[in-house]
Structure 1
Amino acid sequence: MLTVLHQTFPQHTFLMNGLIHGVKGLLSFLSAPLIGALSDVWGRKSFLLLTVFFTCAPIPLMKISPWWYFAVISMSGVFAVTFSVIFAYVADITQEHERSTAYGLVSATFAASLVTSPAIGAYLSRDYSDTLVVVLASGVALLDIGFILLAVPESLPEEMRPVSWGAPISWEQADPFASLRKVGQDSTVLLICITVFLSYLPEAGQYSSFFLYLRQVISFSSETVAAFIGVVGILSILAQTVVLGILMRSIGNKNTILLGLGFQILQLAWYGFGSQPWMMWAAGAVAAMSSITFPAISAMVSRNADPDQQGVVQGMITGIRGLCNGLGPALYGFVFYLFHVELNEMASVEPLGKASKANMANPTDERGIIPGPPFLFGACSVLLSLLVALFIPEHSLALRSGSHKRHSNGAQAHVHGPPGGGSDSKEPLLEDSSV
C-alpha cells in the first residue's frame, strides 16, 4: 500500500497517509455505534456481511485505479466496523462467564492473520508480483463473503428483534450522535470510553509507523521485521487465549484491564528509550501481554449491557478505536517531525541506520537520549488511561437500563424498548415509545 501511495502522491506520501487514515477513522467513529444499534434491530448476519464487504472492497482498486482506491478506502470507514458486529454476535451466543475467553479468541485470530499475511504478501511480491498479492487478497475476501453467506447463522433470535426489515426506524434509533449523548449521561460508559481512547490512541499511532521505525532507526532488516511480527503475534495469541482466561478467573475483569494497561506503559517506555535490537525484542514480549486489554474491556462492556444493546455498546467502543485509528498516526507523525526523526519508506535504510547510530553516540542530540519520542508520549497517555480505569466499577448495572422491566414483563420489553438505548440510561427502556 505504501508503494502505491508513494507512486500516487510522491511529494506528500505521509501527509496523504495521515489524511486517508484520518477520514476513515472519523467516519468509523461516527458510524460504528449506529451500525451496532441497527444490528440490534435487524440482526447480525446482514451487517457482518455489509461490514466485511466494504472493508475488503477497496483491495482490487489498488491495481485498477490508485486514486479510486484511496478515495474508496477513506469512505469505507462508514462500514469498516466489523469488530462491533462480531463482538455483539459473540455476546449473543455465549454466557457471561464465557465471553472474556471468546473475545480473546476473536482477538487472537485477528493477531494470527496479522502474523501470517505480511510474510505471505512480502514473499509473493518479491518472487512474483504485486498484482498477484492483490488478486490473492481479493480472492480471500470473496471466500470470506461466501463463508458468511453460506455457513454463518444469524445469532439474534426473532423475539429479540424489536422490528423487522422494512419497518420504519425512528430518528432516535438512527441518530449517530445518540450514543455520544449516552456516553455523557452514564459515568461508567464515559470512564470506559476515556480508557479506550487514551490507551488505543498510542497503539494506533504505533501500528502506523513502528515497523518502519524498526527498519530505519533500529536498523532491522526486512527479514528481521517479519520475524519480529511473527514472534510477537504468536505470543499475543497465547496471551489472549491462555493467559487472559487465567487472569479473568483469578484476579477479575477490572484488574485484568489494569494489568494490561501496566504492560502497555512498560512496553511503550521501553520502545521510547530502547536503542538496541535486543531491547525491541524484549519490549515486544511485553507488548504481547498488553494485548489482553481490549478483549477484557469488551467483556466488561458486554457483561454490563442488556442482550438487545450489545450491538450499540460494542459499536461505541469500536467507534472510539476508529477515531484513534485516524488521530494516532497523525499524532505520531507530528511528534516524529518535532524531534526531527524522518520516516521515509522510500529512503535507503542503511544510511539512516548509520546516522541513527552516530546520533546515539552524541549525547547532545535528542535522538541520542530518546530514540523514539512518540512512544514516550504514548506511555504518558496510557498512564492517564490507567488512572481513569481505576475508577471503573468492577460490577455495574449502569448499562442495564431496562433490566428490571424485562424481568417483570418478559419479552415485551424487547418489543417496545429502543435498541439503541437513546433515552436516558437511568430510565427504563420500556417507557420510550419512539418505535
Structure 2
Amino acid sequence: MTDSSSDAMTGKGRGLLRGSGPLGGRAAFGFIFATALMNSISFGLIIPVLPNLIKAFTGGDTAEAAEWNVVFAVTWGAMQFICGPLLGLLSDRIGRRPVLLVSIFGLALDFIIIALAPNLMWLLIGRILNGMTAASFSTANAYVADVTPPEGRAKAFGWMGSAFSFGFLIGPAVGGALGDIDLRLPFYVAAALSLANGLYGLFVLPESLPPERRTKRFDLARANPLGSLRLLRSQRDLLGLATIGLLFQLAHTVLPAIFVLYTGYRYGWSPSVMGLAMMATGVAGVIVQAFLVGPVVARIGERGALMLGAAAGALGFAWYGFAPTGLLYLAGVPIFALMNFLMPGLQGLMTRRVAPDQQGQLQGANQSLQGIASMVGPALFGLTFAWSIRHTDVIYAPGLAIYLASALLVAAFILGTRVARTPLPDSAPGGPQVQSQT
C-alpha cells in the first residue's frame, strides 16, 4: 500500500477529499456527483409512466398490470442481486471508470429498448438490462470511497444521497408531464440523458483507482452473490453493519410498495396531493443529506449518525402508520427525514473496514443485499397491507405494513448498539480494532 493510500485508510488524510490522479479529490468528487445526479434523473423520469405502459400492454387490465409489475420488480431486484457483486469486483480489478461507462451506456440502450418495445416480453428484457446497469450506483459509491479520506466519507455519501434524492424528486415530475404527451417519450428522454451522461464520463470523468491500488486478479468465486458475502464475514462487525443496511433497505421499500394505495385508502388523497406529499418528503431528505450530514457527523460521529437515523426512521414510520389524518401524516415528514443520516454513517463505518482494492467488492455486496430487499420488500409489505384492510373486523390497522417497517429499524438500532463502532486510526483493514462506544 502506498503512503498516500495508507494515510487515507488510517484517517490521516487532510480535508474532505484527497487528490486522485491528475485532478484534485474535490474535482473528482464533483465529476462523480454530476454523473450520479444525471443517472438518478434518468431513472426518475420513468417512475410515473412505466406502470401505465405495462397497463397499455395488458389492454387496460389493472389487475394483470399489477401482476406484471410485481414480476418486473422482482426481476429488477434479482439482476441487482446477481450483478452488483460482479461489477463491484470488476471495478476493483480494472478501475471504476470503465465499469461506470459500460453501465451508463448500457442504461441508455435499455431505455431505448423499453421505448421501442412492441410487447411485454421486450419490456421485460429492457427491465433485465435496467437491473444489470443500475448496479453502477455501487461503483459510484466505490469511487467516492477512493477519493475521500475516511473522516470525510459520511459527508460525501450524504451528498451522493442528495444527488439520488434530487434526481428522484424532479425526475417523476418531468416524466409525468412527458408521459401525458406520449407514454414512451420519457424513455427516449431518459435514453438521451443517459447517453449524454456516458459521453460526459467518456471525455471528462477521471479514473479514481490507480493501478497500484487495484486487486491483482478477478476471482469469480468472490464475484458471485454468495461469494461476496465472504467479504462481509471477513472483518469484525462488518457483517453486522451489512445486516443493518439490509434491514434499512427492506424497510425503505414499504412506501414505494404501498404509499399510493395506503394514502388513497386512509386519507382519500388525490394523485396531485400524493405528488405534493412525495415532493415534501423528497425536499426534506435532500436538505438533510446535503446540508446536515456533514456538521452532524462532525459532532456525533458516524456511529451517532447511524443510530440517529435508525431511531428517527423507526419513529417516523410508526408516526405514518398511526396518523389518523393526512395533516398528521405530513407532520411526521421532518422526523422521517432524519432517517437519511443512517446510510451515510453506515457507509462511512463500512468503508473504513476494507482496503482500497476491496471498496468495489464491498459496494457490490451492498448492492446485492439491496437486490434482496427489492425482491422481498414489495411482496412482504404489499401482502401485509392487503391483509390489514381485508380484516378490519379483526383489527383496524391499515398502517400495519408501515409498523412492520418501523420494527425493522428498531432491530437495526438494537444491532447498531453492538456493531456500530469506529475503527481506531492505526488499525489495519484486515482486522480493525474499534473504539468502544457502547
Greater mean deviation of Cα atoms: 23-32 or 178-187:
178-187
Give the direction of change, closer, same or farther, for the CA distance of 1:56–1:286 in structure 2 (3 Å limit).
farther
2:157 to 94, 103, 107: 103
Q: By how many angstroms is 1:187 displaced?
A: 4.4
Q: By how many angstroms is 1:285 displaced?
A: 2.2
Per the alignment, residue 145 of structure 2 pairs with 91
Per the alignment, residue 389 of structure 1 pairs with 416
Contact 1:306 1:403 in 2 (8 A): no
Give the direction of change, closer, same or farther, for the CA distance of 1:231–1:329 in structure 2 (3 Å limit).
same
- Say yes or no: does 1:337 pair with 2:386: yes
Q: By how many angstroms is 1:173 displaced?
A: 4.8
Contact 1:201 1:325 in 2 (8 A): yes
Per the alignment, residue 399 of structure 2 pairs with 372
* Distance of 1:306 and 1:60 partners within structure 2: 38
Q: By how many angstroms is 1:372 displaced?
A: 2.0
* Displaced runs of 4 or more, over 6 A: none
Per the alignment, residue 154 of structure 1 pairs with 207
Q: By how many angstroms is 1:218 displaced?
A: 2.0
SS in 1 for 2:389: coil
Task: Output aligned runs, 1:392-411, within 5 Å.
Answer: 392-396=419-423, 400-401=429-430
Tell me the C-alpha RMSD between the 2 structures. Answer: 2.4
Give the direction of change, closer, same or farther, for the CA distance of 1:372–1:74 in structure 2 (3 Å limit).
farther
Give the direction of change, closer, same or farther, for the CA distance of 1:182–1:170 in structure 2 (3 Å limit).
closer
Counterpart AA for 2:176:
A
Counterpart AA for 1:188:
D
Contact 2:146 2:208 in 1 (8 A): yes
Of all paired residues, the percent bearing the same amino acid is 24
Contact 1:183 1:190 in 2 (8 A): yes
Give the direction of change, closer, same or farther, for the CA distance of 1:56–1:299 in structure 2 (3 Å limit).
farther
Q: By how many angstroms is 1:289 displaced?
A: 1.4
* Distance of 1:338 and 1:229 partners within structure 2: 25
* Distance of 1:388 and 1:185 partners within structure 2: 18
Q: By how many angstroms is 1:55 displaced?
A: 3.9
* Distance of 2:88 and 2:432 partners within structure 1: 20
Q: By how many angstroms is 1:182 displaced?
A: 3.2
Give structure 1 stretches of 5+ with no counterpart. Answer: 342-358, 405-435
Give the direction of change, closer, same or farther, for the CA distance of 1:316–1:388 in structure 2 (3 Å limit).
same
Counterpart AA for 1:227:
L
2:97 to 32, 45, 64: 45
Per the alignment, residue 240 of structure 2 pairs with 191
1:140 to 193, 197, 219: 193
Give the direction of change, closer, same or farther, for the CA distance of 1:150–1:282 in structure 2 (3 Å limit).
same
Counterpart AA for 1:285:
P
Q: By how many angstroms is 1:59 displaced?
A: 2.2
1:69 to 114, 118, 123: 123
- Say yes or no: does 1:291 pair with 2:291: no
Alpha-carbon displacement from aligned partner over 1:78-132 (angstroms, at most 9, x marks no partner): 3421221011101111222221111111100111111111111222333x33233
Contact 2:158 2:293 in 1 (8 A): yes
Q: By how many angstroms is 1:393 displaced?
A: 4.2
* Distance of 1:286 and 1:124 partners within structure 2: 33
Q: By how many angstroms is 1:135 displaced?
A: 2.2
Counterpart AA for 2:88:
G
Contact 2:89 2:364 in 1 (8 A): yes
Per the alignment, residue 254 of structure 2 pairs with 205
Per the alignment, residue 136 of structure 2 pairs with 82
**Which structure: larger Rg?**
1
How many equivalent residue pairs?
Answer: 377
Counterpart AA for 1:231:
A
* Distance of 2:215 and 2:431 partners within structure 1: 14
1:57 to 105, 109, 129: 109
Per the alignment, residue 284 of structure 2 pairs with 235
Give the direction of change, closer, same or farther, for the CA distance of 1:337–1:222 in structure 2 (3 Å limit).
closer
Counterpart AA for 1:103:
F
Alpha-carbon displacement from aligned partner over 1:390-409 (angstroms, at most 9, x marks no partner): 111422379812899xxxxx
* Distance of 1:399 and 1:324 partners within structure 2: 31
